[in-house]
A and B are shown apart, each in its own frame.
Chain A
């Protein structure tokens, strides 16, 4: 397991208290899980993602990420509709470990209310939370 100062927490994303990262890309938002989450879970073996077009409320589970020894639900950081899903993860779940903020992304969402994103954490605040 990584120490706090070893964690990778890039500046171009915000974080949820459920250990997801979100990257605003125009009027959609790309979402994945943070380095802390993937490190805690260990080698990811399977990712279960929703269908494009489904909508979820904030804090609803939109999917499941599985490692050998544990399984974790992923919760929506805000209300929105799924517009894209990373199908590559079906055969290559290890991308979540190796390219956590890049090719390891999970979903792209059209948020119902973009202002909800403002209440998510900056990298500094997230690091505080992890202490």
Chain B
């Protein structure tokens, strides 16, 4: 007898009995409604099937063709950061009750996910200094786009001002989302210090919000208090985006500096880089705006015996009830990623988070000092976190490209994004690099430049 595929439990006897119950002779009869002329009469052109062992070999080979692992050192940041993930995080987030559960629409069966997301919402607010958080959006870029749309809804104005030091890909996604409804974007230039130039703000009409990123794409900490002050007088909102929230383990959070919406990418909290996947769109706001916030929200309540419990709440903002008047169309979000972040932040806690953030900061500062010895200087003067722009003399930047073939990704060349910074590279150093690693990088970069 032909062996059955292990995910398909039906035996021939099962199928026969079921067909008899239904009252048809052949399974194909169940597809009578499909137009005959369109029914496929040959198999789809797909490879496989591979047995499990062959699949492993195949995937190992594909995986092996990507630069990862101990023989490759990446100093890339630019919106995706390599961090150490404690095994307890991976282990617990692999529990199938978390992984194979559905969206918690039946709360009695989903208290694990629901309490976990409530904890995530709380930790997100405490980290960012805000008053409400949703249960996640897709990624930092779409969260940023949603923040702009939310500010537009609240103020009923049509223009937003965005810093050119905000991640170029986040700005692209924002342009895609806002372009649909015909909203306008004004770009604010950046100053020599690496921060956003706010001087144009006062003369912009119909302004719904100003948006900066901190740390910004150059790794610089923005003057968030100045941003909020600049726009509140005009009745516009202050939006702070981020792609490396670990910075708030060290620096003052945007909520304490007057931001109205704080949103960005949470991948740094226990999620693997995944070629830019495994993202976590974090989104927080002020309590007064909660009804304009997109995304799922978990609330605490009690059951009929008075026991505490959690439910999805304020669902009337969402697509399944409000349909075309919903705050967003989002349904499936990044729930497991949010849960992972809650777990990671809990494991690190207050002490671990401060420790880890300082470690990141110290390593980047160390690289800056070692680079200075080689005549490579920091381009911008504003304080940074774990990322900074290094300026190379005399074509030294392009000389470094050769290092990729030798096992090192020496930062990101910036010319493609900012032509005026063609001699600059964006370097990121996290806790994953030892002092020896950093010294090796400097040695390799120096030797490239001498050639």
Contacts and interface: CB of A to CB of B under 8 A. Distances in A.
B291 A69 contact: no
A70 B321 contact: yes
A71 interface: yes
Interface of A: 46, 48, 66-71
B291 A46 contact: yes
Interface residues of B, number: 6
15 contacts: A46-B291, A48-B291, A66-B316, A67-B316, A68-B315, A68-B316, A69-B315, A69-B316, A69-B321, A70-B316, A70-B321, A71-B316, A71-B321, A71-B322, A71-B325
A43 B353 CA distance: 43
Nearest to A67: B316
Nearest to A71: B316
Nearest to B322: A71
Interface of B: 291, 315-316, 321-322, 325
Contacts of B316: 66-71
Nearest to B326: A71
Contacts of B321: 69-71
Contacts of A70: 316, 321
| Chain B interface mostly | helix
Contacts of A67: 316
Contacts of B315: 68-69
A58 B90 CA distance: 59
A48 B291 CA distance: 10
Contacts of B325: 71
A48 B322 CA distance: 15
A69 B291 CA distance: 15
A70 B321 CA distance: 6
A10 B291 CA distance: 34
Contacts of A66: 316
A70 B317 CA distance: 10
A68 B321 CA distance: 10
Contacts of A68: 315-316
B235 to A, nearest CB: 15
A46 B314 CA distance: 10
Given A67-B316, A71-B322, 6 more contacts: A46-B291, A48-B291, A66-B316, A68-B315, A69-B316, A71-B321
A113 B316 CA distance: 35
Nearest to B311: A68
Nearest to A72: B316
Which of B315, B316, B321 is most buried by chain A, counting CB atoms within 10 A of its CB? B316
Nearest to A48: B291
A66 B325 CA distance: 13
Top 7 A-B pairs, shortest CB-CB distance? A71-B316, A66-B316, A71-B322, A70-B321, A71-B321, A69-B321, A70-B316
Contacts of B322: 71
B149 to A, nearest CB: 19
A66 B315 CA distance: 10
B102 to A, nearest CB: 19
Contacts of A71: 316, 321-322, 325
A67 B321 CA distance: 11
B132 to A, nearest CB: 15
A20 to B, nearest CB: 20
A67 B315 CA distance: 10
Contacts of A48: 291
A67 B314 CA distance: 9
A68 B105 CA distance: 13
A68 B315 CA distance: 7
A40 to B, nearest CB: 14
Contacts of B291: 46, 48
B72 to A, nearest CB: 52
A71 B324 CA distance: 12
A66 B327 CA distance: 15
B322 to A, nearest CB: 6
A78 B322 CA distance: 26
Nearest to B313: A68
A67 B326 CA distance: 15
A67 B313 CA distance: 11
